[in-house]
Amino acid sequence: MGKGIHQERADRYEGKLTVYVAVACMVAAVGGVIFGYEISISDSIFGPKDSVVSEIDIRGVASMDPFAMKFFPKVYKRLYSKSELLESGVCEYDNQCLGVFSSSLFVAGLFSALCASHVTRRYGRKYSIITGGISSLVGAVLSAGAMNRIMLFAGRVMHGVGIGFGNQAIPLYISELAPANLRGGLSAMFQVATTVGMFTANMINYGTHKISPWGWRLSLGLAAVPALLLTVGGIFFLPETPNCLIEHGRVEKGRAVLEKLRGTKNVQAEFEDMMDAVELSKAVKNPYRNILNRTNRPQLVITICMPAFQILTGIRPLLFFAPILFQRLGFGENASLYSSLMTGIVPLLGGLLTIATVDRWGRRALLIGGGIQMIICQVALGIMLGLKNTKHGQASNNLLELMAVIVCLFIVAFGWSWGPLGWTVPSEISSLETRSAGQAITASLNLLFMFAFTESFLALLYKFEYGLLLFLATWICIMTVFVYLFLPETKGVPIEEMVFQWRKHWFWKKIVPPVATEEKDEKIEDPRDWIHNIIWEISSRYPTH
């Protein structure tokens, strides 16, 4: 088995941001627009009566009368019998079939992301991105032209497949393409594009809501625009990454693309790192099994934790409260419009801030700083809602305005920290042989946690009310401490030399072997060995005699 990267060459790396890299990264980031558009276009936001909030605001094609009447007639009938339902405590959108429609996107995306790992590794990053674009394009056509539930659900599933492939391949693609000193900012483009997609979906839904009877078809069909851009752009403007070309034996082509990407012929140091990484990668037959290897333990832990923490920030509950606050502030029918503007523009500004600062300040600084800001905002909102709920009174306009400002501060904190970096960090930490598998795990878990949180949100809100925000603040405390203790700084570190960061870290160096003992770790561990190792370490530290 090859030894992989055995020396640091980062100080000899040369190159700059070329037009070639910038265009390729922007084209690939269109996949983020598809992701944001799809998770928002059919999203319904609603709140229970007689709880923390007392208004109901619903957005998404599910709330459009012609759509509900055609595909979910029971939901449509409930929409016009709210008074009876409110007395019985039943939500008018509580429908199993509608739930399947909403969740099918996440489930299809989850499994397709795992499958995309094989395509990305065997056929290349570019082909996975194009596959995602084609799948989303087919999904848009089926959804917009749906004549029955089968076509509608098939379109939803195809969108999920497209999102799974895109979310698995695009962050990885950008990380491999970008120069080490600019990788963070370029990778953040994916989350910025996702924000643009969400904002666009909300604006389109607002505009098509009153177009009857085909407004919902327009909302669903416009998803074809970014899907077409990604597909055509992927075919004509996306080069395959040098890492992937070299891994597939096209060494000279890989070096030529690397020289074009960096704008210089002096790429020997980076090229040697890629060759060393490929030497080890070729010996790995099963990346999913290899990622369980002790050597890859740090990457596996962070690959799992980052998407979980990203969702547990509580960004979705805060987006839920935004339209209600605007309605309370007297915006009436325009509450959804103004809340959509706020929840679209504010995180976009945060994402642009990340692009400008992440390669100067580093990932850790932004994650910790954003975490602290979100903790303060969650606690403040929880206390305000708790006091209001205890007094059983209506909040003053001044208090509502303050709450709206705090919501904005939370959203912008997410936008410049955990929003983009929840995707950036996992895409850049794994070695070549496990990179596709690691990113597939990140993409799958992100969709899984998003699905689980979406499905359980109303139940949690009923159960905890304002305490839900304090519960989420506790999780943000945990994840901020986790970053401080266990995440090494990856700013400016070449993607193929990331292993040295683990060997220097105070905790992970105890797990990742040094170069001299690398050969001892060649055998891939059985997952059951984890339990044996844990028992052995505990028994050695705390002997029974």
Confidence at residue 234, expressed as pLDDT on a 0 to 100 scale: 96
* Predicted pLDDT at 169: 97
Calpha distance 425→175 (Å, rounded): 9
Each as own residue / partner, the long-range contacts of residues 324-332 (CB below 8 Å, 24 or more positions apart, any chain) are 324/47, 324/53, 324/55, 324/57, 325/400, 325/403, 325/404, 325/407, 326/404, 327/55, 327/57, 328/55, 328/395, 328/400, 329/397, 329/400, 329/401, 329/404, 330/397
pLDDT in tens, 189-199: 999 999 999 88
Which pLDDT score is estimated for 420? 95
Reading the block at residue 264, the tokens are 């210089």
Instruction: Report d(CA 12, CA 360) in Å as an integer.
Output: 20
Nearest Cα neighbor of 205 from 412, 76, 36 is: 36
Mutual orientation of helices 149-177 and 19-41 as an angle, nearest 10°? 150
pTM: 0.86
What's the confidence (pLDDT) of residue 372?
Answer: 97
CA atoms within 13 A on the CB side of 22: 6
Please tell me the predicted confidence (pLDDT) of residue 334.
65
pLDDT of 316 reads 74
pLDDT at 519: 42
Q: How much is the pLDDT for 189?
A: 96
Distance between CA atoms of residues 384 and 398, nearest Å: 12
pLDDT given at position 544: 46
Instruction: Report pLDDT digits (tens) over 443-455.
Output: 999 999 888 877 7
Predicted pLDDT of residue 108: 94
Ranges in the chain, pLDDT < 50: 1-2, 44-58, 83-94, 516-528, 530, 534, 536, 538, 542-545
